[in-house]
């Protein structure tokens, strides 16, 4: 079932440098997608459009049948998608737990036990309680990325958008993080979109889109 649909999306920073041209892709729930391509091919741009961080020059993106550009961008970002970055983008002054809690707060989660829930998400990502209460800067890169993924799923977002999530991690840790994300797609029905350079990461996904896109390489 399609959760995120791009319809004839084009994007250009200015007239002479089109980045994306007439792109139509469907992302399904329970699917893990890799977006690959050379630097400057528009990978991050694609992710930014999906995350409603930018608007396309032409075309639309639908989330669960609704045009995301007609939705409140803050609501969309806090409820519909979870973002995971190469450099984790955690708030350094807060503990792992507080980072996750903050995200839940922003999404105005109705849960009365946010702390317990947050701990639960972190545990699911493989962090101990002691690690959860540490400042994020005291954690390793892999641990930080796990916190970031926990944060992304803490709002019950159906889509996880990851920008080079393994880029700063060693190979083994990267694979562990990827496993977590694939698990979210395959066992929890999330839609996971991963922008990556790494061939081995891309190969493990259900489908790969190579930019500049001519034809989809594969469909789930």
Partner 1 sequence: MYIIRNAWLSVTRSLSRNLILCLIIFVISTAACVALSIQQSANLARNRNIQLMDIEAHINIDRQYVMDEMEDSDTTDRASMADTLSDLSSMTLADYETYEAAPSVEDFYYSLTLSLDGNDDLKPLSENEHADLTDLLDSSAPDSNRGSGAPTSVDILATITYQGDFQLIGYVSDKAMGDFQDGVSEITSGTMFEENTSDYVCVISEELATYNSLSVGDQITLVNFQNDAQKFVLTIVGLYKDSSDDTTTATDAFLDPANRILTSYAVANDILDRSEDYEDPSAFVTTEKQDSGKYIEKLLTTNGKAVTPTAEDAQTDSDAAADSTAATTDSAASTTASTTASTASATTSTASATASDSAASTSAVSDSTATTATTTDTDSSTDDSSSEDDDDALTGTIDATYLFKTMSDYEAFETQVRDLGLPDKYTVVSNDVATYEASLVPLDNLKTFALTFLFVILGIGGIVLVALNIFSIRERKYEIGVLLAMGMSKMKVTAQFVLELLMITFLSLACGVLLGSSISVPITNELLASQVAQEESLSSAKVTSFGREVSATYTKPKGGDVEGEVAYISTISFSVDYSVLLQMAAIGIALALLSGTVSSLYVMRYDPLVILTERD
119 or 164: CB nearest partner 1: 164
Provide, rounded to whole angstroms, the least separation between the CB of residue 99 and partner 1.
9
Q: Which of 79, 146, 158, 190 binds partner 1 (CB under 8 A)?
A: 79
CA distances from 3 to 38, 44, 80, 141, 166 (A): 27, 20, 10, 30, 24
Q: Is the previous residue joined to 201 through a cis bond, with omega within 30 degrees of 0? A: no
- Helix (H) or strand (E) segment spanning residue 217: none
Largest CA distance in the chain: 53
51: contact with partner 1 by CB under 8 A: yes
- Cα 59 to Cα 123: distance, rounded to the nearest angstrom: 40
Closest CB to partner 1 among residues 30, 141: 141
Among 32, 47, 150, 159, binds partner 1 (CB under 8 A): 47
Does residue 163 bind partner 1 (CB under 8 A)? Answer: yes
Q: Among 26, 86, 143, 145, which residue interacts with partner 1 (rule: CB under 8 A)?
A: 86
C-beta separation of 44 from 35 below 8 A: no
**Binding of partner 1 at residue 146 (CB under 8 A)?**
no
Tell me which residue of 175, 120, 102 sits closest to 145, measured CA to CA.
175
**Dihedral angle at the C-alpha atoms of 37, 43, 46, 50, nearest 10 degrees?**
110
Residue 78 near partner 1 by CB under 8 A: yes
Residue range at the interface with partner 1 (CB under 8 A); choices 21-29, 50-58, 198-206, 211-219: 50-58
Per rule CB under 8 A, is residue 13 in the interface with partner 1?
A: no
Cβ(209)–Cβ(217) below 8 Å: yes
Please give the size of the binding site for partner 1, defined by CB under 8 A: 32
- DSSP class of residue 169? S
Among 38, 66, 93, 138, binds partner 1 (CB under 8 A): 93
State the residues that interact with partner 1 by CB under 8 A: 44, 47-48, 51, 53-54, 74-79, 83, 85-87, 89-91, 93-94, 98, 102-103, 105-107, 151, 155, 163-164, 167
């Amino acid at each position: 079932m399609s959760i995120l649909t791009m319809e004839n999306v084009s994007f250009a920073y200015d007239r002479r440098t089109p980045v994306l041209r007439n792109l139509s892709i469907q992302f399904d729930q329970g699917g893990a997608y890799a977006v690959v391509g050379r630097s400057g091919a528009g990978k991050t741009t694609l992710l930014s459009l999906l995350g409603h961080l930018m608007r396309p020059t032409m075309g639309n993106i639908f989330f669960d049948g609704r045009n995301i550009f007609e939705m409140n961008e803050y609501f969309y970002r806090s409820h519909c998608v979870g973002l995971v970055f190469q450099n984790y983008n955690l708030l350094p002054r807060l503990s792992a737990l507080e980072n996750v809690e903050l995200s839940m707060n922003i999404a105005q989660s109705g849960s009365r036990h946010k702390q317990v829930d947050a701990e639960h998400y972190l545990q699911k990502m493989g962090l101990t309680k002691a690690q959860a209460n540490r400042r994020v800067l005291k954690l390793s890169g892999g641990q930080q990325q796990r916190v970031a993924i926990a944060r992304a799923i803490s709002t019950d977002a159906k889509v996880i958008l990851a920008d080079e999530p393994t880029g700063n991690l060693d190979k083994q840790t990267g694979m562990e993080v990827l496993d977590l994300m694939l698990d979210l797609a395959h066992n929890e029905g999330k839609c996971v979109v991963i922008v990556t350079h790494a061939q081995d990461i891309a190969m493990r996904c259900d489908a790969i889109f190579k930019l500049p896109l001519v034809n989809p390489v594969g469909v789930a």
